[in-house]
A and B are shown apart, each in its own frame.
Chain A
Amino acid sequence: DAGVTQSPTHLIKTRGQQVTLRCSPKSGHDTVSWYQQALGQGPQFIFQYYEEEERQRGNFPDRFSGHQFPNYSSELNVNALLLGDSALYLCASSPRQARAWELFFGEGSRLTVL
């Protein structure tokens, strides 16, 4: 049983560009959350998707958007990239009514903005 898979694992962009990161949840999970982990920091909650809609959002600007597909996979989009968007982006999946410790994390997509 594959866990949470994310792609790409690494990518480099320049300021002002747009990026799309992808996440496939663990089998049986229908809820996907995204976290941003800047260098030397703990992960910070970006948003959570369930039933193809954004349900909850952290303190991130509208440049950060997402999508969830009928198969529960998800995308994170970041527009107008800034240097400060350089980070490891983590996807976590869970069943809808999961308890907090039932989140499974992927290994992340490392974004570098030059």
Chain B
Amino acid sequence: AQSVTQLDSHVSVSEGTPVLLRCNYSSSYSPSLFWYVQHPNKGLQLLLKYTSAATLVKGINGFEAEFKKSETSFHLTRPSAHMSDAAEYFCVVSGYFTGGGNKLTFGTGTQLKVEL
């Protein structure tokens, strides 16, 4: 079974400072990992994905995540926070069903607050 643990439920940063959202994963095989963002009253948007290619993954809006197998981590970073980054962020691992189809297992989320 696959699972993810988001280490911080809330993160607060100042605009223009770096963002770090932490995620550890557990998987019995090489996982596919994702970060999704959810703005208030909006649907989930895929930020970036890791699928066993390059360990440093670049996503939209300047977000990056690095897959570290030795640490079972997949932390999300952004060099400089913008006010528009304030949202809920989910670390996600995918699983595959026999016969096809896939299922996403979400972490509990990290609420990012960006202050002036």
Interface range, A side:
20 to 34
A8 CA / B111 CA spacing, docked (Å): 26
CB of A42 within 8 Å of the partner chain: yes
Report if A40-B109 is in contact (Cβ < 8 Å); known contacts: A56-B101, A58-B103.
Answer: yes
CB of A24 within 8 Å of the partner chain: no
B100 and A105 contacting across the interface, CB-CB below 8 Å: no
A96 CA / B106 CA spacing, docked (Å): 21
A100 CA / B32 CA spacing, docked (Å): 8
B103 and A45 contacting across the interface, CB-CB below 8 Å: yes
Closest approach, in angstroms, between the C-beta of B15 and any C-beta of chain A? 25
B44 and A90 contacting across the interface, CB-CB below 8 Å: yes
Please report which residues of chain A, range 60-114, place their CB below 8 angstroms from some CB of chain B when the two chains form the complex. 90, 92, 94, 96-101, 103, 105-108
Closest approach, in angstroms, between the C-beta of B101 and any C-beta of chain A? 5
B contact residues around A106 at 8 Å (CB): 43
CB of B56 within 8 Å of the partner chain: no
A100 and B43 contacting across the interface, CB-CB below 8 Å: no
B contact residues around A101 at 8 Å (CB): 32, 34, 46, 49, 51, 94
CB of B29 within 8 Å of the partner chain: no
A90 CA / B32 CA spacing, docked (Å): 21
A42 and B90 contacting across the interface, CB-CB below 8 Å: yes
Closest approach, in angstroms, between the C-beta of B8 and any C-beta of chain A? 14
A contact residues around B96 at 8 Å (CB): 100
> Digit string of B74-116 for contact with A (CB within 8 Å is 1, else 0)?
0000000000000000101010110111111111110000000
A107 and B43 contacting across the interface, CB-CB below 8 Å: yes
B contact set with A: CB distance below 8 Å: 32, 34, 41-46, 49, 51, 90, 92, 94, 96-97, 99-109
Q: What are 15 inter-chain pairs, A to B, with CB distance below 8 A?
A: A35-B104, A42-B92, A42-B106, A43-B90, A45-B105, A48-B97, A50-B100, A55-B97, A55-B99, A90-B44, A94-B102, A98-B102, A100-B102, A106-B43, A107-B42
A contact set with B: CB distance below 8 Å: 4, 31, 33, 35, 40-45, 48, 50, 55-56, 58, 90, 92, 94, 96-101, 103, 105-108
